[in-house]
Amino acid sequence: MMKFRFRRQGADPHRDRIRHDLFAFSKTVEHGFPSQPSALAYDPVLRVMAIGTKAGAVKLYGAPGVELTGLHKETATVTQLHFLPGQGWLLSLLDDNTLHLWEVCQKEGCSHLEETRSFGLPGRPGSGSANCSPGITRVTVVLPMAAGAMVCLGTEGGAVYFVTLPTLTLLEDKTLFPDEILQSVPDEYRCGKALGPVESIQEHPLRGSQLLIGYSRGLVVLWEQSTRTVQHLFLGNQQLESLAWEQSGKSIVSSHSDGGYMVWAVSGTGQRTQQPAMSTIPYGPFPCKAISKILWRTCESGNPFIIFSGGMPRASYGDRHCVSVLQGQTLATLDFTSRVIDFFTVQSAEVPEGGFENPRALVVLVEEELVAIDLQTPGWPTIPAPYLAPLHSSAITCSCHVSNVPLKLWERIVSVGEQQSPRQSSVAWPIDGGKNLAQEPTQRGLLLTGHEDGTVRFWDASGVSLKPLYKLGTANIFQTDCEHNDSLNQAGEEEWPPFRKVGCFDPYSDDPRLGVQKIALCKYTAKMVVAGTAGQVLVMELSDEKSEHAVSVATVDLLQDREGFTWKGHDRLAPRNGPLHFPPGFQPSVLVQCVPPAAVTAVTLHSEWNLVAFGTSHGFGLFDYYRRNPVLARCTLHPNDSLAMEGPLSRVKSLKKSLRQSFRRIRKSRVSGKKRLNASSPSSKVQEANAQLAEQAGPPEVEMTPVQRRIEPRSADDSLSGVVRCLYFADTFLRDATHHGPTMWAGTNSGSVFAYALEVPSQEKFSERAVEAVLGKEIQLMHRAPVVAIAVLDGRGNPLPEPYEVSRDLAKAPDMQGSHSMLISSEEQFKVFTLPKVSAKTKFKLTAHEGCRVRKVALVSLTSAGSEERLENCLACLTNLGDIHIFTVPSLRPQVHYSCIRKEDISGIASCVFTKHGQGFYLISPSEFERFSLSARNVTEPLCRLEVARLQDTSCLSNSSTVTPKLPQANGTHVLRSSEGQHSPSDSDRSPVEHPAVFSPGPIDSPNSSVENPLDITGDITVEEVKDFLASSEEAEQNLRNASEDEARPTGILIK
């Protein structure tokens, strides 16, 4: 019988209003450190800093919560950034030689960053080009004048141009060409050589009409703008890198390519100075690298600060990335693990004449992190940053979000985190400009990230700023080489240069087996499970005191002595023997080692039952961590699962085998439509239905929409079919419909679901009785699609609460009167079954209808923006195309879908994690999480205000298109689609903060109703086989009868 889906006429306005109040997709804020930073600037008046990136992004940061983001239209590197202090104007220079003016504008009480104008230098007269920018006019130096009406541009050709602000109009009559300077230079200095590019321009600290101009050859000129005369010449012969004024204007300091710097006296007696007052190479006498930037800051306590980057001995330490801080006889060589981009000091904006600058802090931007140094505390300790933390200090391998963290646990985590960094400065974060207008978070959110080096980092994800709280290390439990490397990093007392390691970016792991793969945390008992790459499963508990104890070790054999399998992968990590010292924090009590030591692919924790379940590519196990003994081990390997025995770190994977399997699949797909399969084949019904759909055509007068795609069945002997994808604990009905009890569910890569009934003793008898597990049911999905997630819904269709939530009056007790249902999410569809019969109730075939596969799913609770009382539980799904689909539960009726991540961004899709209240995170670069919201009510976004005192009110007049407050990421991780699926590239460059939803057509009534979503089996991942190991013989016969009736049900016309 033919099957059609007729298009519905009309819609339900009431349900549409409800959906608009529930669902709203927006990308709100980027957490972490900007990818590939290339420029830095600081405004001492507004007390904010700006960071530019190679992808053309501009990001402003002030006090925690004060963040503004902009994106250039051109995909070009930001090479320089410069503030006009206090005016809310920011100049950016791109590597395409264009200058852009950004403005902080106020809209609806909040500040936004908008690009207002751009400018490109014309070619030099006589070049025959009016609009191009040849090399001779390539800008090398940008200096906004303190008066705020003009900006100076130094070029490679040696000319200095003057441009008005904010109109960015070139003042041709003020242009200073090098020929004009050479007229004042002595003949013996000229020697027929050019002055070279302009390397630095600095404004006189007291007389704004005088400019200090430095040329690459070494000549430094003090130029009087008003009279266009040379006031002073400093005839240097060493290649110049940078210049800086001493605050009084009586001295200047120049840094050079030979690793030295010179101090020159500025006097009114003579116009020429041939020798500096002082010249030194700090790390000489051997050849040194250039000092690329130098600062001179006066200090009331005595000697000034001289701060410079580079200058390291070329042969010995030429590969080091250093910033040196010198005050009198005190020298600190700050050693970073990545290249230094730029740095600045924080001091008072207004320094009276004859006063001192007294810098409070030094802020250094390197390629992989931002570091602040306290210059007023002895020892110059680092200042902990409230944002811009390098998430990728070790590569992120997994992440987990915990919502509504109890205050007591939160305070304990913060306390143990503070004890980890006693050497850090206690002063407040120095960049504190602007005002955060966002409301205080209503709940505490914890983001946990697992890393390649075996650490787990705890982040405060409650608000706009992602703040580090605590770092947990697991490497010290095992025998590794970490101690040797740590000792090498410690500088000796007499070492020269006096290196001091700063920053926390360390991308190197001593052993890849330490990598964290899965994390589970119970927020009510402060117990946590950390599982790793070598099959290690650590059960940990939070302790406020340090401890010294031995860690119990238990081994669980997941192969169950199965013959014919030989593990070819990495060895297990060897645990340390004897008592170990553990600082305050999460301390391990039990180490469960899986055998073979394959990477853990799934883990779950039930602290009320004292159980932890874990799975690998070989099977799954259940462990009682109270009695410290294994309860269950089950092998899920197929006889042909040879790749599962090689491990992720093995280099001996059979290329021939994978190619052979690929050709077999191609051959099977080609003949499946022509050859009629045997009726006993598990996929025969699917192939027949697909053939019917291909051959039959509907009446020409009926308008139809495509209802499904042809889905090829997966082979039962596919490699890695035994991988355990998900584990789940539930108190539900498995034995019969009257008695509920603890159960454990496991889903595999081959579409198998195992359900176990657990005998868990009461709290008083934990020490007397052991937990027992009895196999209750085995379910095999017909298409053998990987099972991504399993969840049990109570009689009202709500997800079951977490352990201890009900007993502590933190959640409503689940409905145990009505029948429970089970939601199985595979890669190809979602399906709801009744319990304990396991009969299909409703489903949605995502792959057949949308042509995509499921990658991430989560049950989320969304509150209406119109009324706090209206709350709906929904299923959020991220596909391999980067789209997010939302369905009602348990009716599985599609509500909306959004384009979130580019389908090419595989790492971004794999890293996505949903929160329980409709938000999510995914990596847009190795160092940045993008935060998004699916809820119209629960949105975390920066709302801030900067008070600017602008000399001219431009009212954000722009000669370009209007820029919205929130811009897409500069790294191009996604391109947003409009509701019609059409979006021009120019539109995507300036997409709005809220993206249009693609609503499902037709009227939708109650989200819990499934009347309009009947079950059909054509092309379906229907239940191929259900084995009930707990039912009586009569019940088993009845189940088989029901199953046969379901399979014989004819396919009818489905109106949707």
pLDDT band at 356 (very low <50, low <70, confident <90, very high): confident
**Dist CA 1043 CA 782 (whole Å):** 13
Q: What is the DSSP letter of 6?
A: B
Residues 6+ apart with CB under 8 A from 762: none
The full DSSP string for 659-702 is HHHHHHHHHHHHHTTTSPPPTTSTTHHHHHHHHHHHH----TTS
In angstroms, the Cα distances linking 76 to 41, 96, 99, 121, 168 are 18, 7, 12, 17, 20
Residues 584, 587: Cα–Cα separation, whole Å: 8
- Cα(123)–Cα(99) distance, integer angstroms: 15
Contact 631, 622 (CB under 8 A): yes
Compute φ and ψ for 910, nearest 5 degrees: -70, -25
Is 90 exceeded by the pLDDT of residue 495? no
Percent of the chain predicted with pLDDT > 70: 79
Dihedral angle of Cα 286, 291, 297, 301, to the nearest 10 degrees: -20
142 and 93 in contact (C-beta within 8 Å)?
Answer: yes
Q: Which helix (H) or strand (E) holds 582?
A: strand 580-582
Q: Is the pLDDT of residue 701 over 70?
A: no
**Which among 936, 933, 900 is positioned nearest to 916, based on CA atoms?**
933
pLDDT of 994 strictly over 50: no
pLDDT at 883: 97
pLDDT computed for residue 510 by the predictor: 76
Residue 136: pLDDT band with limits 50, 70, 90: confident
pLDDT surpassing 80 at residue 958:
no
Measured on CA atoms in the order 411, 415, 417, 423, is the torsion positive or negative? positive
Amino acid at 518: K
Omega into 285 within 30° of 0, i.e. cis? Answer: yes
pLDDT band at 1050 (very low <50, low <70, confident <90, very high): very low
Note the residue count of the chain. 1056
Tell me the C-alpha distance between 90 and 114, whole Å: 10
Q: What's the pLDDT at 563?
A: 77
| Per-residue pLDDT tens digits for 380-413 | 999 999 999 999 999 999 999 999 999 999 999 9
Position 702 scores a pLDDT of 39
Taking phi over 0 as left and psi of -120 to 50 as alpha, with beta for the rest, 514 belongs to: alpha
Q: Judge whether residue 855 has pLDDT over 80.
A: yes
Give residue 806's pLDDT.
84
* Alpha-carbon gap, residue 970 to 96, rounded angstroms: 17
CA–CA dist 1012, 8 (Å, integer): 12
d(CA 302, CA 304): 6
Q: What is the pLDDT of residue 474?
A: 95
Strand 229-235 versus strand 272-273 pairing type: parallel
The 10s digit of each residue's pLDDT in 778-813 is 999 988 899 999 999 999 999 999 988 888 877 888
- pLDDT per position as a tens digit, 56-106: 999 999 999 999 999 999 889 999 999 999 999 999 999 999 999 999 999
What's the mean per-residue pLDDT of the chain? Answer: 83
Alpha-carbon distance values, 434 to 28, 64, 94, 900, 911 (Å): 19, 9, 27, 31, 33
Percentage of the chain beyond pLDDT 90 is 63
A 10 A CB-CB count for 807 gives 12
- Residue 768 pLDDT: 80
CA 965 from centroid of its chain's CA atoms: 21
Region 345-373 average pLDDT: 91
Report how far residue 829's alpha carbon sits from residue 1008's, in angstroms, rounded to the nearest whole number.
Answer: 19
Are 832 and 803 spatial neighbours (Cβ–Cβ below 8 Å)? no
Tell whether the model's pLDDT for residue 752 goes beyond 50. Answer: yes
Residue 846 and residue 826 in contact, taking contact as beta carbons nearer than 8 Å: no
Strand pairing of 1023-1028 and 361-366?
Answer: unpaired
- Chain segment 172-224, per-residue pLDDT in tens: 999 999 999 998 888 888 877 789 999 999 999 988 889 999 999 999 999 99
- Give the residue among 101, 83, 78 at the shortest CA–CA distance from 43: 83
| Residues sharing a CB contact under 8 Å with residue 688, sequence separation 6 or more, in sequence order | 676, 677
Type of residue found at 739: H
Q: Kind of pairing, strands 499-501 and 330-336?
A: parallel
pLDDT of residue 284: 86
**What is the rounded distance in angstroms from the CA atom of residue 845 to the CA atom of residue 1020?**
7
Q: How far is CA 890 from the centre of its chain?
A: 31
Structure tokens at 721: 């079919």
Tokens for 726, please give them.
């998900």
Residues 772, 738: contact at Cβ < 8 Å?
no
- The DSSP-derived string for 164-217 is ETTT--B-GGG-B-HHHHHTTS-HHHHTT----SEEEEEE-SS-TTEEEEEETT
Write the DSSP string, 713-780: PPPTT-TTTT-EEEEEEEEE-SS-SS--EEEEEEEETTSEEEEEEEE---GGGTTTS--EEEEEEEEE
Closest C-alpha to 945, from 451, 502, 438, 461? 438
Is residue 24's pLDDT more than 90? yes
Contact 573, 478 (CB under 8 A): yes
Task: Please give the single-letter amino acid code of residue 84.
Answer: L
Query: DSSP of 489-508, one letter per residue?
Result: HSPPTT-SS-EEE-------
- Name the CA radius of gyration of the chain, rounded: 33
Describe the chain by its helix, strand, coil percentages, rounded to 5. 10, 40, 50
Opening angle at CA 205, ends 184 and 341, nearest 5: 95
Among 182-196, 287-301, 714-728, 1037-1051, whose mean pLDDT is lowest? 1037-1051
Task: Give the strand order in the sheet containing 67-71.
Answer: 37-43, 48-53, 57-61, 67-71
Question: Do 521 and 539 touch, CB atoms closer than 8 A?
Answer: no
* CA neighbours closer than 13 Å in the CB half-sphere of residue 1041: 6
Residue 305 in this model has a pLDDT that exceeds 80: yes
How far does Cα 344 stand from its chain's mean position?
27
At 643, the pLDDT band (50, 70, 90 cuts) reads low
Structure tokens that stand for 766 in this block: 């934990």
Question: pLDDT category, 1056, cuts 50, 70, 90?
Answer: very low
Question: What is the tens place of the pLDDT at every residue in 532-588?
Answer: 999 999 999 999 999 999 999 999 999 987 777 888 899 999 999 999 999 999 999
Spacing of C-alpha 197 from chain mean position: 40
Residue 960's pLDDT is 41
pLDDT per residue as tens digits for the range 859-887: 999 999 888 888 999 999 999 999 999 99
**E strand or H helix at 363, and its extent?**
strand 361-366
Tell me, rounded to whole angstroms, the distance of Cα 778 from its chain centroid: 38
pTM for the model: 0.85
